[in-house]
Amino acid sequence: MKKHTLFFIFFSIAIFINLSTKAQEKYKTFTADDSLQFYKNTQFHQAVKLKKTTFVYGAKPKNIILFIGDGMGTDHVFAAYTANKGVLNIMNMPFVGFSKTQAANNYITDSAAGGTAIACGQKTKNGAIGVDAKGNTIKNICEYAKEKQLSTGLISTSAITHATPASFIAHQLSRRMYEDIAADFLQINIDLFIGGGLKFFDKRTDKRVLTNELKEKGYQIAFSTADMMKITKTPMAVLLDSGHLDRVSEGIVFLSKAVKKSTQLLSKNKKGFFLMVEGSQIDWGAHQNNTSYIIEELLDMDKAVGGALKFAEKNKETLVVVTSDHETGGMAINDGNIQTGEVYGRYTSSRHTATMVPVFAYGPGAELFSGVYENTELFQKIILLLNLK
């Protein structure tokens, strides 16, 4: 009787351990039906084949093209790399660093404070555009560049009055002051800008029609990519939508064309140029925890980066930098397949996070962007390299 009891106890324990072990192995299975997290690419692009150009350490560029993938973290980049079968222009850039993104009043920045830190070199409060933490106006890269007679340009896949591009031209206490931000475009003689946001220029509460005022200042205005491509000189203003542009999978695919057109026009200035290009909707896809949206927008920006790298390689006096204002979504790659272009993403948040973001650089001066530093140092490095102070 005693032996039977002991046998039953040991048998029960064995069954319990076996069941417990099996239960722990029942990990969640990801399927293609998990549509917001799973992505399989069907449209692959090749990376630009760069020659082994040796840039001299300590050399300074005449031109800088700065790409900001809004909300883009390292996992976003590697997800796009996986989806494009292990090919990405961004990841062919030889110098890599990390930027710390905290705002003046918050551990987690928003795009306004993040953009202002990069554009103006000072930490500010979330929501503020081109002003310091006390609300005082601070000069941005474009203003410094114009003082030195360099050409300047802004491109965005959102409204051009949105937080990130606004940080490079406007000075407002709130990122939501879109009409005031639009009016600021007439204060700086920026050579070109391309994006959405037409309603903030022409459908205003103060009844001003800013496109007419821009024409009076000599701007050529375009409302389509086709008309944009016909323009042969600056200043140029291209407003492609009343508000924000459609996502790549639903509407306008213009970023590569816009970068190519902008470099053609801005490079006519022998003194040099500064161009900021924002891939805005990487952030929006991350807010939605939508892996497809993130990757499609990032791959679209990567094609534009490829065009910029080709220009830089030929020009030999151009630095290309790719970074982000912050990470969004707390993205992680739970699985993937580089051979098939499949990615399984997961997220810790639908908001921004505090994690560092990558910085990639190619061209003269690229070595300065290695290391780990505050986002404000991006401004300092650009100012130093273009001799703007």
Residues 197-216 pLDDT 10s: 999 999 999 999 999 999 99
What is the pTM for the complete model shown? 0.91
- The position carrying tokens 């130093």 is 384
What pLDDT was estimated at residue 23? Answer: 35
Give tens-digit pLDDT for 348-365.
Answer: 999 999 999 999 999 999
**What is the residue-averaged pLDDT of the chain?**
91
308 touches 322 (CB < 8 A)? no
Sheet holding 151-159: strands in order across? 220-222, 236-239, 192-196, 151-159, 273-279, 63-69, 318-323, 357-362, 95-100, 371-374
184 touches 170 (CB < 8 A)? yes
What pLDDT was estimated at residue 34? Answer: 60
Q: What is the dihedral of CA 78, 80, 82, 83, to 10 degrees?
A: 160
> In this predicted structure, which of 101-105, 138-142, 186-190, 300-304 has the lowest mean pLDDT?
186-190
Q: Which pair of structure tokens corresponds to residue 21? A: 């072990």
Pairwise CA distance, residues 235 & 220, whole Å: 6
Q: Which residues of 275-285 are buried (b: 16+ CB within 10 A; e: fewer)?
A: bbbbbbbbbbb
Q: Which pair of structure tokens corresponds to residue 172? A: 């407002």
Q: What is the dihedral of CA 282, 284, 289, 290, to 10 degrees?
A: -70
Pairwise CA distance, residues 88 & 86, whole Å: 7
Q: Which pair of structure tokens corresponds to residue 345? A: 């993403």
Give me the residues paired with residue 159 across strands.
Answer: 196
Q: Which pair of structure tokens corresponds to residue 191? A: 């050579």
What pLDDT was estimated at residue 286? Answer: 96
Pairwise CA distance, residues 13 & 19, whole Å: 10
Q: What is the mean pLDDT of residues 315-338?
A: 97
User: Judging by beta carbons within 10 Å of its beta carbon (0-12, 13-18, 19+), is residue 99 exposed, middle or buried?
Assistant: buried
Q: Which pair of structure tokens corresponds to residue 90? A: 């961004």
- Is the pLDDT reported for residue 11 higher than 80? no
What pLDDT was estimated at residue 190? Answer: 97
Pairwise CA distance, residues 252 & 224, whole Å: 10
- Is the pLDDT reported for residue 27 higher than 50? no
Give tens-digit pLDDT for 101-138.
Answer: 999 999 999 999 999 999 999 999 999 999 999 999 99
DSSP, collapsed to helix, strand or coil, labels residue 376 as helix
DSSP label at 229?
H
